[in-house]
Amino acid sequence: MITINGESGGGQILRTALGLSAITQKPFKITNIRKNRPQPGLKEQHLQGLIAIKNLTDAEVDAKIGSTSLTFKPNKIRSGDLKVKVSTAGSLGLILQVLLIPALKTDLKINIDGGSTFSKWAPPVYHYKNVLLPLINYPVKINLLKHGFYPKGGAKLEVISSKTELKPIHLKKGKPIEVQGISIASSTLKPKRVAERQANHAKKILAKWFKEVKIKTGYIDSLNPGSGIQLTLKTTNSLFGGDSLGEIGKKSEKVAEEACESLISSYSSGSVDKFTADMLLPYIALVGGSFIAPEITNHIKTNIETIEKFLDVKFKVDGNKIYLNK
């Protein structure tokens, strides 16, 4: 059985292990889950991702919120409908991250009820729709039926995927073509023009860097007020994402600045953004490829170590360039 020490990698190690365990049907045991975090062990979004993979593979596993170790024994991946219930404002992006890897191998319709579409420490749902999936040519349809924000969540998401064979993923920085974005806010924030202020300030910042900038605005119904902005830079060879979440006491202009800074920083130093760099690794392990990370983080290092336990591959890290060592 594969054994994993989750002490230094956060929830990313568990998400990668679950996805690859489902594909390879290799069981694993993980200990010290999120040991160095303020609240160690599984949180709601980790547990719901685990339960979803359990239901997808008819796996044997016993875990609960706060668990710091678990053993996961999968069976074959099934097809059909999969329902995921999130009772908190947990990140839907992190649940998607778990499910998209095994979804390569089957035909699935996933309905997720609850959770948040934008989160403070995780990529929003729009990052998957606009950056990751088109970047690797993964034909998954994501229908965002309802937005959710912290603290109540309440989002609704439909994901439709078919069995897919990806091609090798080689990504270079490329020359900028355009930036597209989406700036949203709850309808209760419309009098303060939050969506427009986020968008307009982002356009002002990005105009100094890129010629074409188009950002849509919208107001949505949600269980509690919230806002967010997601930006996508399209280049001749890649896609980059940047985003930020609105919070109480944070000005709309600050939200825009954070998203722009993230986007510009990634483009200045890599061929993908920081979130995509982490998420690309399992797919490159499966089909081959290469990219330049904005920086080689501990997340990337532990993710590589986890992947190499499940697949007969070895990664090479040369400066900030990452590729398979054949």
Question: 46 an active-site residue?
Answer: no
Query: 25 in the Ramachandran plot: left (φ > 0), alpha (ψ -120 to 50) or beta?
Result: left
**Torsion-angle region of 253 (φ positive above 0: left; ψ -120 to 50: alpha; else: beta):** alpha
* Separation between Cα atoms, residue 84 and residue 82, nearest integer Å: 7
Phi and psi at 127, nearest 5°, equal -65, -40
Catalytic residue among 46, 147, 201, 299: 299
Task: Report how far residue 65's alpha carbon sits from residue 43's, in angstroms, rounded to the nearest whole number.
Answer: 5
- Mapping DSSP onto H, E and C, the string for 150-202 reads CCCECCEEEEEECCCCCCCEECCCCCEEEEEEEEEEEHHHHHHCHHHHHHHHH
Taking the C-alpha atoms of residue 119 and residue 18, their distance in angstroms, rounded to an integer, is: 22
**Residue 34 amino acid letter:** R
Residues marked active site are found at: 299
